[in-house]
């Protein structure tokens, strides 16, 4: 979608009764003094209160000491009327690394809806950064990001049901029918998995870590995927996102083959409200071990670890063929296909960034299930 930022901004400013210069002046990184007002605004716009509490927002957007926050606020007459998250990301495209942002958590005050403010905030980020990625969390935000970003890979949700009983009960199957229903549903699933499980190589060792400090071995230059476009992560990222997360619990799980590090992933082992449905995210294979067999075994290892520790299901969200085939071969079942992620890259970036097949996107990249 092409648009003229300055022209669009001038029109929007006039609708708000301010000048173009005032509009730009009034849109600044939020400070901690703004956070209470932002939480109130978000609570009015989003029902998922857990995402809106002060601690979570502070953790997410105000964690970089001596740097502006990753949250932009638009003020009118001193009142915050709209907010957008702009979480810094580093994106590798070929041999170049760019500083970009992930646009998220857009909220506009009710009385200022339908004035183009959400679109404008996205445009502003695109005007400021060479690369911006975005997700569509709901129908409204999806229709917005579709207008100002290029749609990329679809995200596919896969799930491995460890306990069918709990799942069927949650779907309202009466307790007296659970055993029969489990048997009916379980038999084909079990047969299918039997085939996959025979393919599981036994000489893989598993090791868990509790903090990002211990995973450095996986984050050196030998451990990265070799796709052309990817979001770069370092120890500081892992430490922030997982070790200091105020809402959810995470476990780092590493797989070794003959004492060589093969793969690393992060397992979300539940949050404050749900300890049974686990998520597999942020997986990475050592470059020399990037085979579907190793990825399949990583997935299988994670499922086994989760099952041994009380999980009733393990979910995974992915968007590339390699991961998809490995997940199916590990016994995961397709659940749904959601919107993909959305990308903006300015004219200085290699156009190969828009090729879906160059991306290797995981749960953490798509900023879900934090």
Partner 1 sequence: MVKDMKEPASTQEIINMVEVLLNEKNGSLFIDSKLMDIAGWDSMGRLLLMAELDERFGITLKENELAALKSVENIISTIDSKGMLAK
- In whole angstroms, the minimum distance from the beta carbon of 303 to partner 1 comes to 41
Our CB check for partner 1 shows the closer of 147 and 275 to be: 147
Binding partner 1 (rule: CB under 8 A), the pick from 11, 169, 219, 228 is 11
- In whole angstroms, the minimum distance from the beta carbon of 3 to partner 1 comes to 6
Contact (CB, 8 A) for 253 and 206: yes
* C-alpha torsion 312→341→100→22, nearest 10: -110
d(CA 21, CA 250) in angstroms, rounded, equals: 45
d(CA 184, CA 235) in angstroms, rounded, equals: 46
Question: Candidates 96-104, 140-148, 227-235, 243-251 — which segment interacts with partner 1 by CB under 8 A?
Answer: 140-148
Using left for φ > 0, alpha for ψ between -120 and 50, and beta otherwise, residue 76 falls in beta
Does residue 63 bind partner 1 (CB under 8 A)? Answer: no
d(CA 133, CA 148) in angstroms, rounded, equals: 11
Binding partner 1 (rule: CB under 8 A), the pick from 66, 77, 95, 114 is 114
Give which of 290, 335, 343, 329 is closest to 316, Cα–Cα.
Answer: 335
Does residue 1 bind partner 1 (CB under 8 A)? Answer: yes
Binding partner 1 (rule: CB under 8 A), the pick from 21, 44, 55, 113 is 113
- In the beta sheet, which residues pair with residue 27? 74
- In whole angstroms, the minimum distance from the beta carbon of 45 to partner 1 comes to 16
Does residue 311 bind partner 1 (CB under 8 A)? Answer: no
Our CB check for partner 1 shows the closer of 83 and 215 to be: 83
What's the token pair of residue 309?
Answer: 């520790």
Does residue 149 bind partner 1 (CB under 8 A)? Answer: no
Does residue 18 bind partner 1 (CB under 8 A)? Answer: no
Where do runs of H (alpha helix) occur along the chain? 5-16, 20-26, 35-45, 54-61, 117-128, 139-148, 164-170, 175-198, 235-238, 292-308, 321-329
d(CA 72, CA 26) in angstroms, rounded, equals: 10
Contact (CB, 8 A) for 249 and 269: yes
Does residue 24 bind partner 1 (CB under 8 A)? Answer: no
Does residue 257 bind partner 1 (CB under 8 A)? Answer: no
Does residue 12 bind partner 1 (CB under 8 A)? Answer: yes
Question: Candidates 5-13, 98-106, 258-266, 345-353 — which segment interacts with partner 1 by CB under 8 A?
Answer: 5-13
Binding partner 1 (rule: CB under 8 A), the pick from 125, 144, 262, 370 is 144
Does residue 359 bind partner 1 (CB under 8 A)? Answer: no
Contact footprint for partner 1 (CB under 8 A): 1, 3-4, 7-8, 10-12, 15, 113-120, 143-144, 147-148
């Amino acid at each position: 979608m092409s648009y003229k930022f300055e022209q669009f901004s001038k029109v929007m400013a006039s609708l708000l009764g301010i000048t173009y210069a005032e509009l730009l002046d009034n849109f600044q990184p939020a400070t901690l003094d703004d956070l209470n007002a932002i939480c109130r605004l978000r609570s009015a716009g989003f029902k998922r209160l857990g995402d809106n509490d002060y601690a979570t927002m502070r953790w997410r957007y105000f964690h970089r000491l001596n740097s502006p926050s990753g949250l932009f606020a638009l003020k009118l007459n001193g009142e915050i009327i709209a907010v957008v998250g702009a979480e810094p990301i580093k994106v590798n495209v070929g041999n170049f690394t760019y500083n970009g942002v992930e646009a998220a958590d857009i909220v506009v005050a009710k009385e200022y809806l339908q004035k183009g403010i959400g679109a404008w905030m996205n445009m502003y980020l695109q005007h400021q950064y060479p690369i911006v990625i975005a997700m569509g969390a709901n129908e409204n935000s999806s229709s917005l990001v579709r207008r100002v970003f290029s749609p990329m890979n679809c995200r596919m949700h896969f799930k491995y049901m460890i306990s069918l009983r709990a799942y069927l009960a949650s779907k309202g199957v009466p307790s007296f029918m659970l055993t029969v229903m489990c048997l009916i549903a379980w038999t084909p699933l079990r047969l299918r998995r039997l085939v996959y499980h025979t393919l599981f190589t036994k000489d893989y060792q598993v090791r868990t870590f509790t903090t990002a400090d211990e995973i450095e071995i996986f984050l050196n230059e030998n451990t990265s995927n070799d796709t052309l476009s990817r979001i770069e992560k370092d120890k500081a990222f892992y430490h922030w996102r997982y070790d200091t997360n105020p809402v959810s619990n995470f476990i780092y799980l590493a797989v070794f083959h003959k004492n060589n590090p093969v793969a690393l992933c992060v397992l979300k082992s539940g949050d404050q409200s749900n300890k049974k449905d686990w998520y597999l995210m942020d997986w990475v294979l050592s470059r020399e071990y990037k085979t579907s067999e190793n990825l399949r075994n990583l997935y299988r290892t994670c499922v086994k670890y989760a099952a041994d520790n009380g999980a009733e299901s393990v979910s995974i969200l992915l968007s590339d063929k390699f991961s998809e085939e490995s997940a199916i071969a590990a016994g995961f079942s397709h659940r749904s296909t959601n919107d993909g992620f959305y990308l903006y890259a300015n004219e200085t970036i290699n156009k190969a960034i828009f090729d879906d097949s160059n991306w290797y996107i995981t749960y953490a990249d798509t900023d879900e299930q934090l």
